[in-house]
Structure 1
């Protein structure tokens, strides 16, 4: 149910729509309603009239996913932002929080305790994650590393590009079914749609000066805009067969 709500904007759906979506994946109405009740108890969703909407960390995740659909960067002046952990032992929970926050800020760990990225993103992004990083690290801006190629390698751009090309192929195979509004393709294409969103969130958002040749980020976003539009149109057409709820 979380994935279904994460895929719509705003992240709210009628209960009947969530129940019918569950049926696509073999979930009974009772199982779906139980899952929604548990999510509400955990603070992941809240009841909203005749439906549910995301709340808490899942709402933050939805915002990150929506932002990742667009490549919002600013011109790069060649400098890097760094977050350096001072010497000293830290509890494992703190280290885990730092790692998660740094990745959401699209920082890469270039060496143990040193996180970095090209300074081409809005410094005000993800304030909650920024607060976690600032609490545990010394923040530096304007850095010019002696070996920027080693810093870029920490983002594994080749790995990201390889996965992106596989996803482009997956979307190309399924696009004709969505263009035909084939409801039988919804379950399979749902997984592809979600996989592309996750991959866009992981986009290192490198400046053009540091992108490898044939960088597929723009192509992935363009193909996804069509794919996601087709998926949503097919889903709406399928859902209308049940009436409104």
Structure 2
């Protein structure tokens, strides 16, 4: 995506269908009313908008008003959204997701001096499945990798709070590996695979020539950033694409914000089409 300026045409366009052969192994989810509403609110601060605004956002992508309103009702019923005075906002679970997405775009790094944070499960061996699942999700959010069952670690270069589920089930330690830390990082994370997919996403952004296509690829890019291990530079392969992918996503996010600002303006003409 070289030109991030809003581009206008005579009709909203649906995204073109993409196959595995066209985009490699990229997992591009279809554009739906639900995905448009969710992505719009996740990218908006505060994450709450009137129904009429979300309907108009749907218009940008050729989604009918009735389809958007049905999606809103279903998302409220599913616990994804809360409704208040004609506006819709994210529920607590999705507010946590927004916080993780914000962190993936602007991680809070701290100087790395070679230390690793280590978490070892020290609760009873027979933990309920719900507790094990909650811990795994928390560790993923903290970007720790599992060395073996019940042992999690990562370089101590991130500044973020530990959720109670992680502190309750684990004993936390600080240490350093005896061997090559870069080799250990390579065993814990598929860095080559992550980098390959990041480059494929940037190439897909370059090829995307409609707003709908750029939206679809950018959403996949944001999901991919959530799995960036955010390692210190010393442990990353050469030409690591994480920073460039963030810049590409930020450029699209700025384009979309400006387009929505113009499109949702009280003075904007209804039915304006976008390419």
TM-score normalised according to structure 1 size = 0.83
- How many Å separate the matches in 1 of 2:67 and 2:250? 32
Partner of 1:94: 131
- How many Å separate the matches in 2 of 1:100 and 1:132? 10
Partner of 1:134: 167
Partner of 2:95: 59
Task: Confirm whether residue 144 of structure 1 aligns to residue 180 of structure 2.
Answer: no
Partner of 2:215: 190
Task: Confirm whether residue 223 of structure 1 aligns to residue 248 of structure 2.
Answer: yes
Using the TM superposition, give the Cα deviation of residue 14 of structure 1 relative to its aligned residue in structure 2, in angstroms.
2.1
- How many Å separate the matches in 2 of 1:126 and 1:198? 21
Please list, as runs of the form range in 1=range in 2, the aligned pairs for 1:1-245 lying within 5 A after superposition: 1-23=37-59, 27-86=63-122, 88-122=125-159, 125-127=160-162, 130-141=163-174, 143-147=175-179, 148=181, 149-174=183-208, 177=209, 185-239=210-264, 240-242=268-270
- How many Å separate the matches in 2 of 1:10 and 1:172? 30
- Stretch of structure 1 that moved more, 81-90 or 39-48: 39-48
Partner of 2:14: none
- Stretch of structure 1 that moved more, 35-44 or 81-90: 35-44
1:103-134 Cα distance to aligned partner (Å, 9 max, x none)? 00110112222111100111xx244xx21111
- Stretch of structure 1 that moved more, 144-153 or 218-227: 144-153
3-state secondary structure, aligned to 1:204: coil
1:159-189 Cα distance to aligned partner (Å, 9 max, x none)? 2111111111122223xx4xxxxxxx22222
- How many Å separate the matches in 1 of 2:261 and 2:132? 43
Using the TM superposition, give the Cα deviation of residue 24 of structure 1 relative to its aligned residue in structure 2, in angstroms.
5.4
Using the TM superposition, give the Cα deviation of residue 214 of structure 1 relative to its aligned residue in structure 2, in angstroms.
0.7
Using the TM superposition, give the Cα deviation of residue 80 of structure 1 relative to its aligned residue in structure 2, in angstroms.
0.3
Aligned partners of 1:171 and 1:227 also within 8 Å? no
3-state secondary structure, aligned to 1:73: coil
3-state secondary structure, aligned to 2:270: coil
1:130-158 Cα distance to aligned partner (Å, 9 max, x none)? 211111112112x1112332244212111
Aligned partners of 2:185 and 2:235 also within 8 Å? no
Select the structure with the greater relative contact order (CA < 8 A; seq sep ≥ 6): 2
Using the TM superposition, give the Cα deviation of residue 237 of structure 1 relative to its aligned residue in structure 2, in angstroms.
4.1
